[in-house]
Structure 1
């Protein structure tokens, strides 16, 4: 799906194609994840991402996101950063190369802006 200028999109109801998270990233549970890129503005992607309950690691891209629904703990594998508890309304800035561990306790859906 692509955004159309001037037309709203219900991000909470937007269907996403999901698949199991890559086995080499999953530490607990059997989370599934999916995303939909909605627009590209000046080489910056805007989209929606979702993951069900479980624990998985990731290497991040440059991204700012806002949680729409769900809850998670983001542990930064760089010990200089504190663990982040996120839920609806939380906004987080991730930088390229950050190593993270996501513990999703309620299916998490976020809108992201990534470069």
Structure 2
């Protein structure tokens, strides 16, 4: 007997390959290249959002929200104001703090699943 599929439980399918609607990043945030980004919210849990985010190749600045994310695919680096950096590869989990200024350099389109509040 095959269990019934509950569409209320499945938040997304093919999250590694699903097409996302990219938009150019604001010019004042771009450091190199012509990066674009896409967001696909999956669920809200109170004041917390769960979703998928992707950035194309390039480099850009950002001001972070409180967030934990896991890289699903791609490669790059996120550099923090204190000079530290994290290499971004599939399987890496990262904690961002609200208000942190970061610089993202993406060498292969980077896709992550995030939990942010």
How many pairs align? Answer: 111
Contact 1:64–1:92 under 8 Å retained in 2? yes
Any idea what the Cα deviations from partners look like across 1:25-58, whole Å, max 9, x if unmatched? Answer: 0010001111011100122100000001101000
Inter-partner Cα distance in structure 2 for 1:101 and 1:60:
10
Unaligned runs of 5+ in 1: none
Inter-partner Cα distance in structure 2 for 1:90 and 1:7:
22
Q: Which has the larger radius of gyration?
A: 2
- Of 47, 56, 66, the match for 1:43: 47
Unaligned runs of 5+ in 2: 1-6
Secondary structure of the corresponding residue to residue 108 of structure 1: strand
Runs of 4+ in structure 1 over 6 Å off? none
1:64 corresponds in structure 2 to: 68
Q: CA RMSD in A?
A: 1.4
4 and 57 in structure 1: CA distance in 2 versus 1, 3 angstrom threshold: same
1:28 corresponds in structure 2 to: 32
- Of 57, 82, 100, the match for 1:53: 57
TM-score, length of structure 1 as denominator length: 0.90
